[in-house]
A and B are shown apart, each in its own frame.
Chain A
């Protein structure tokens, strides 16, 4: 069917774009054409792409505004760090530890997603946005007061101070309250980030184009009608929210293992808003747009570094201009007609194609 083919083609273009970008960057890296400052941005770009795609699942596909996405990222980050650091002796292989850290990060973030989602998803609109914001702050504050250490007997957790953990002499503090994680072994690589984007895309796109995804979109389009055709609203809202949280947890775990130290205050309201900006700028519900917006807006501040003090000012102005331009109906129709003209030679071929191949697949 045409529709199925169309979505499939659209998804393939998205995957292809990511793979092509990876190959180009990898080639540039090998030949040494990428500056050091940009090199340091590669993993954060991957992380923010995953964050934007996962938030788009809630904001764009489910149609609910969530302002606490960084909270799930931090849960993933800190679990990832704990898993990786505590298993340092047991599993010397970095790649295995990284995969394990990401998997456990996803699970704990998903659990946090359920805990937050069950009470919160009864609300709608502005109320939901404010409550998710509050939960994001709660998660951040809990992690700020968290002390985790490991010794021969296993993990020790305290919310008081490092001494209260009662570790043995061989004990090692992994997360030290407000100071955060210290002395983390960096495990994240650009390739791992790339694979994580592919996994995130695979989960998100396949979910959207399935029975569950259609139910989620139906709730967004018309909640009352969705209910009237038998869709269990609570269930599908929760599925979208928890999957989104788990994906954010994965991205967080990768992020946590990219730095030698990480404090919980990194994952504050600003980070949630930053990810939301990626989603809105890329187009709500537009996965490919999220990827591009996250990439561009993560690189942009680095590119503008030459402007020194005016950096964030210019960044803000660019942001405002892009928003205005993409939402201007006149400019939109101009770009659309240009795109149409560019596409014209290809469109004819496409129209002829179904006559040849359409029947066989039915």
Chain B
């Protein structure tokens, strides 16, 4: 565990460059596409995300946004195109392998381990941060206790990001909605990712909660120095924190750019509001 220092908060002394594309990107997709039978769900999807960028993926309902997430995490194998994570092609990998390579995600409909405690949920996320095997666990060798203690401390550290330490022993399924969303983010962070995918993190939140979430996403990026790609319908959130935005409609990218460009793009306005709105 010693070589992985990423989870220790890194103070962001200087302002984070808006788009640090001068470094090699963390994620690149080239001509990514998938068909479901005869339906072309996603086609010619090209995206580049910088190492500490907060990027947004938006589009009307059914545009294929979650499908893109499922492609990036290899839940679906793409029909066409390539995905490069930190320059490495993820073709043919299992979802779990992609996670270990550095992509962590949350889900649109929350998927927690609801019968397990909050602490256990995070410990499952820390699974590969612990190194003892099943036999060591059964025999309760010293490595077990050492590894468990470090992992629990790390889990508490993670919980402290959202001030959730006091909930550590609660059952995950019994948490209030907002706390469940936050726990899901923490569980994803526990896997020590370099790219965090958030699928509608603000869904069901009120404006003040959304405001808080925006702050937290920024804070997480600054602390862990990771890239974030989020799907969101709340335009205040997207325009407020995303440095780069990609707009998807009918499975195709119709616009890319910074928030100002996207806001004023007639094609985007047409996609959301129809032809009359664009005029």
Residues of A at under 8 Å CB distance from B? 1-4, 6, 202-203, 206-207, 210-215, 217-218, 220-222, 224-233, 239, 243
Closest to A212 in B: B134
B279 at the interface (CB under 8 A from A): no
Q: How far is the CA of A173 from the CA of B107 in the complex (A)?
A: 61
Contact residues on B (Cβ < 8 Å of other chain), bracket = 35 or more
Chain B 85-102 against A: per-residue CB contact (8 Å), 1 yes, 0 no? Answer: 000000000111101100
The answer to whether A210 and B117 have CB atoms under 8 Å apart is: no
A231 is contacted by which of B119, B124, B147 (Cβ under 8 Å)? B124
B132 at the interface (CB under 8 A from A): yes
Q: What are 10 A-B pairs with beta-carbon distances under 8 A?
A: A3-B117, A211-B137, A212-B133, A214-B120, A214-B124, A217-B113, A217-B115, A225-B107, A228-B188, A229-B188
Closest to A204 in B: B138
Q: How far is the CA of A230 from the CA of B168 in the complex (A)?
A: 22
The answer to whether B111 and A222 have CB atoms under 8 Å apart is: yes
The answer to whether B134 and A229 have CB atoms under 8 Å apart is: no
Closest to A217 in B: B116
The answer to whether B114 and A221 have CB atoms under 8 Å apart is: yes
The answer to whether A226 and B113 have CB atoms under 8 Å apart is: yes
Q: How far is the CA of A215 from the CA of B137 in the complex (A)?
A: 12
Closest to A239 in B: B134
Chain B 186-225 against A: per-residue CB contact (8 Å), 1 yes, 0 no? Answer: 0110110000000000000000000000000000000000
The answer to whether A229 and B130 have CB atoms under 8 Å apart is: no
Closest to A220 in B: B115
Q: How far is the CB of A3 from chain B (nearest CB, A)?
A: 4
The answer to whether A230 and B99 have CB atoms under 8 Å apart is: yes
B76 at the interface (CB under 8 A from A): no
Q: How far is the CA of A1 from the CA of B125 in the complex (A)?
A: 19
B190 is contacted by which of A214, A229, A232, A233 (Cβ under 8 Å)? A229
Task: Beyond A210-B134, A214-B127, A239-B134, list 15 extra A-B contacts (CB 8 Å).
Answer: A1-B152, A210-B138, A210-B144, A214-B123, A215-B124, A217-B113, A217-B115, A221-B114, A224-B107, A226-B113, A227-B94, A227-B96, A228-B73, A228-B105, A229-B187
A1 is contacted by which of B124, B168, B187 (Cβ under 8 Å)? B168
Q: How far is the CA of A228 from the CA of B188 in the complex (A)?
A: 8
Q: How far is the CA of A227 from the CA of B187 in the complex (A)?
A: 12
